């Protein structure tokens, strides 16, 4: 059994001066591909259920699915709720077997963000579950704008929230289709100087691979969230499956065909971080 908490996996990364990937899951096939990639490389991963995934599939189902894959894996895998906005979302994740939750209070004033995160931490601690929080706003490509994390706010959050990891905004953006994000190294260093928590970069698909590799091994960024590049790989693989067999109609056959390609892409994404 290799179900792990986020804290345990981040400690492994810290011990080798490296980072791990939080891989955004949308269904069974991609979750299987990511677990296979972890086993093949020997690299721990975090399986993440974001708002879209939770809207499509009940948390009670996702919790069992994630834990089954983690329990069968040879390497540690954390089961993570991503971008929860309420205590109730976090409680539901904890009740259904998730080992880590992210409470996203980034839209709140810093004092309110800290208070909300602290309440989730109190709930999570009783269940042995890790908590990730966010300070600053990581925006969306073509959507809501980002707000760079204030070092002063990050220091307050680090000191008072009780969280186990801190997601920050330093030029990273969700849903970028090309890896062209410019990470503000000065802003990152300023945050590192006044905090102690492992740092997290959401929207890592928008960060060039060589930059991710460098950040993983030279900074305190210990977790990179990856979704868009893997979803694009899934779409391309499914199109190839449909084109190569235009009379196919069995969804299991079609979706299963994407697993090898997704595993290959996941290995390319997680290996440079480790």
Question: What's the pLDDT at 1?
Answer: 58
Question: Among candidates 20, 97, 29, which has minimal Cα distance to 66?
Answer: 97
Lowest mean pLDDT among 73-77, 136-140, 152-156, 253-257: 136-140
Q: Residue 34: what pLDDT?
A: 98
Q: What does the block give as tokens for 45?
A: 């991963």
Three-state secondary structure call for residue 91: helix
DSSP structure string for 155-189: HHHHHHS--SEEEE-SS--BT-SSS-----HHHHH
Domain 3-136+153-273 falls under CATH 3.20.20.70 = yes
Domain ranges of the chain: 3-136+153-273
> How far is Cα 68 from Cα 270, in angstroms, rounded to an integer?
21
Question: Which of 102, 103, 101, 94 minimizes the C-alpha distance to 127?
Answer: 94
Please state, rounded to an integer, the average pLDDT across all residues of the chain: 95
Residue 51 has what pLDDT? 95
Place of tokens 């186990």: 164
């Amino acid at each position: 059994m290799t179900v792990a908490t986020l804290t345990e996996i981040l400690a492994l990364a810290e011990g080798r001066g490296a980072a791990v990937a939080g891989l955004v899951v949308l269904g069974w096939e991609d979750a299987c591909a990511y677990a296979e990639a972890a086993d093949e490389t020997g690299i721990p991963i975090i399986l993440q259920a974001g708002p879209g995934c939770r809207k499509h599939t009940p948390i009670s189902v996702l919790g069992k699915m994630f834990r089954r894959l983690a329990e069968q894996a040879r390497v540690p895998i954390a089961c993570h709720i991503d971008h929860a906005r309420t205590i109730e979302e976090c409680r539901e994740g904890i009740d259904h077997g998730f080992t880590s939750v992210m409470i996203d209070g980034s839209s709140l004033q810093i004092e309110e963000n800290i208070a909300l995160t602290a309440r989730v931490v109190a709930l999570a601690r009783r269940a042995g579950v890790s908590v990730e929080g966010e300070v600053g706003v990581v925006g969306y490509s073509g959507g809501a704008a980002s707000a760079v994390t204030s070092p002063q706010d990050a220091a307050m959050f680090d000191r008072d929230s009780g969280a186990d990891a801190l997601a920050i905004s330093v030029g990273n953006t969700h849903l970028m289709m090309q890896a062209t994000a410019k990470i503000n190294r000065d802003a990152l260093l300023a945050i590192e100087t006044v905090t102690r928590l492992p740092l997290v970069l959401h929207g890592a698909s928008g960060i060039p691979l060589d930059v991710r590799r460098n950040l993983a091994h030279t900074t305190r960024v210990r977790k990179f969230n990856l979704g868009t590049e893997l979803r694009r790989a899934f779409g391309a693989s499914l199109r190839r499956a449909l084109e190569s067999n235009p009379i196919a109609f069995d969804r299991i056959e079609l979706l299963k065909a994407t697993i090898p390609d997704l595993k290959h892409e996941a290995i390319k994404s997680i290996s440079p971080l480790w």
